[in-house]
């Protein structure tokens, strides 16, 4: 209870100033609108899916079906290649594509015969690699299921002597596979929600143009909001309030947890409001995967709050708080992909960016709103952000003092 009382006191102190509320909410909304407007021209015609090189060395019917399934993916966009394996490996290494899938020679024959065939997927380590693997494996499993259905159907008809020769049996299996793939691509029942046609025509580019600006400004201004939160600790240290607190029954750990809880609630509320604004006003569909959004938003608030606690512990003056908060904001935003999508940068820049938690926050949010992925695509970003939260919190506890 004392931890909650301390957290409520901090929250009241942080939101009392109207300038803080303006900075926490109005500024990210204004910048989201501005950035979305500036990039609306390019976003409207863009494809947010990850480009994946597709090399078919088999030339069989299953390679064609696999390409068709990947073209219908919400996460990846296949780019047909005509070169060799070395060429696509180089494209992946250079960052021209997020990954590559290679259909090996004899793939169609082996799969239709019921043999297990490894489908090589090339991708550099990172969040994009996990997305590519998941999308390709999903398409491959559908194709294998279609092939198995074709074989079982052929066996059933074969017992009745329905096939004159092996060629007729093979044609039957291929036709069955084709129908199964077509059924995957065009399910008999779909649920689609649409706005009125006039609204769609007026702002058909809204989700694409604002998806990146919404996620980017959310990450950037979550960090910027730490200024007021960190100043609370500085003021309490300078006024000797922390020392007087320790003369009461409250413990050192309760003081630390109280301050951390206040910062977490503040950042989480900011993130929730910005998600609600983007969902309702801008049409950025965070709630298509509510559990994934909650997971990413919570872990992002945890590591940002831990960073704020550390800044409050290290800083000795209000000026230092501003410097210690603004410098990480610009560095984490720029390198983490809040200003420019990391997918459009070099492999080296992407590797550097993914050392930072901000890049994983961007990956987690964009997997939801731009790639239509669910909870599974949020697990890795959330786990890494949680690890950062633990590390930053431990550093803050280590450096904490009342003087």
Question: Which is more confidently placed, 247 or 288?
Answer: 288
- What are the residues whose beta carbons fall under 8 Å from the beta carbon of 374, sequence distance 6 or more? 289, 291, 292, 368
- Residue 20, pLDDT above cutoff 80: no
How far apart are alpha carbons 91 and 102 in whole angstroms? 13
Tokens representing 216? 């980017």
Q: Which of 86-90, 193-197, 333-337 has the lowest mean pLDDT?
A: 193-197
Q: Please, which pLDDT band fits residue 395 given cuts at 50, 70 and 90? A: very high
Q: Averaging pLDDT over each range in 74-88, 176-190, 238-252, which range is the top one?
A: 74-88
For the segment 212-231, what is each residue's pLDDT rounded down to a tens digit?
788 888 888 888 777 777 77
CATH number of 50-185: 3.40.190
Q: Kindly state the percentage of the chain with pLDDT values over 90.
A: 13
- Residue 169, pLDDT above cutoff 70: yes
For the segment 94-105, what is each residue's pLDDT rounded down to a tens digit?
777 888 888 888
Domain limits, the chain: 2-42+205-399, 50-185
pLDDT for res 202:
41
For the segment 190-203, what is each residue's pLDDT rounded down to a tens digit?
444 444 334 333 44
- Residue 388, pLDDT above cutoff 90: yes
For the segment 288-317, what is each residue's pLDDT rounded down to a tens digit?
889 999 999 999 999 999 998 898 888 888
pTM as predicted = 0.61
Mean pLDDT confidence for 111-115? 80
Q: Which of 128-142, 226-240, 303-317 has the lowest mean pLDDT?
A: 226-240
**How does the average pLDDT of the chain come out, rounded?**
79
């Amino acid at each position: 209870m004392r931890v909650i009382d301390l957290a409520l006191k901090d929250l009241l102190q942080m939101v009392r100033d109207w300038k803080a509320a303006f900075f926490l909410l109005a500024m990210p909304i204004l910048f989201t609108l501005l950035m979305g407007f500036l990039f609306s021209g390019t976003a409207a015609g863009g494809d947010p899916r990850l480009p994946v090189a597709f090399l078919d060395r088999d030339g069989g019917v299953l390679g064609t079906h696999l390409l068709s399934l990947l073209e219908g993916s919400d996460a990846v966009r296949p780019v047909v290649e005509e070169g060799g394996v070395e060429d696509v490996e180089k494209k992946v290494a250079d960052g021209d594509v997020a990954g590559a899938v290679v259909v090996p020679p004899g793939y169609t024959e082996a799969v239709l015969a019921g043999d297990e065939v490894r489908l090589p997927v090339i991708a550099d380590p990172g969040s994009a690699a996990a997305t590519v693997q998941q999308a390709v494996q999903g398409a491959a499993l559908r194709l294998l299921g279609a092939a198995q259905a074709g074989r079982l159907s052929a066996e059933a008809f074969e017992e009745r002597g329905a096939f004159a020769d092996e060629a007729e049996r093979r044609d039957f299996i291929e036709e069955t596979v084709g129908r199964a793939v077509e059924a995957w691509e065009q399910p008999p029942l779909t649920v689609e929600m649409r706005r009125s046609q006039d609204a769609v025509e007026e702002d058909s580019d809204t989700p694409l143009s604002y998806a990146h600006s919404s996620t980017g400004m959310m990450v950037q201004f979550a960090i910027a909001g730490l200024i007021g939160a960190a100043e609370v600790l500085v003021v309490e240290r300078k006024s000797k309030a922390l020392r007087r607190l320790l003369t009461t029954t409250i413990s050192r750990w309760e003081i630390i947890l109280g301050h951390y809880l206040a910062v977490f609630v503040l950042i989480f509320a900011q993130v929730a409001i910005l998600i609600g604004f983007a969902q309702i006003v801008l049409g950025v569909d965070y709630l298509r995967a509510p559990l994934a959004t909650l997971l990413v938003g919570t872990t992002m608030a945890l590591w940002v709050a831990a960073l704020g606690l550390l800044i409050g512990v290290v800083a000795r003056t209000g000026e230092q708080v501003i410097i210690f908060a603004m410098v990480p904001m610009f560095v984490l935003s720029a390198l983490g992909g809040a200003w420019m999508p990391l997918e459009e940068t070099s492999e080296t820049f992407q590797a550097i960016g993914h050392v930072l938690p901000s890049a994983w926050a961007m990956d987690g949010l964009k997997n939801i709103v731009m790639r239509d992925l669910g909870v599974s695509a949020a697990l890795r970003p959330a786990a890494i952000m949680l690890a950062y939260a633990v590390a930053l919190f431990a550093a803050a506890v280590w450096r904490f003092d009342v003087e």
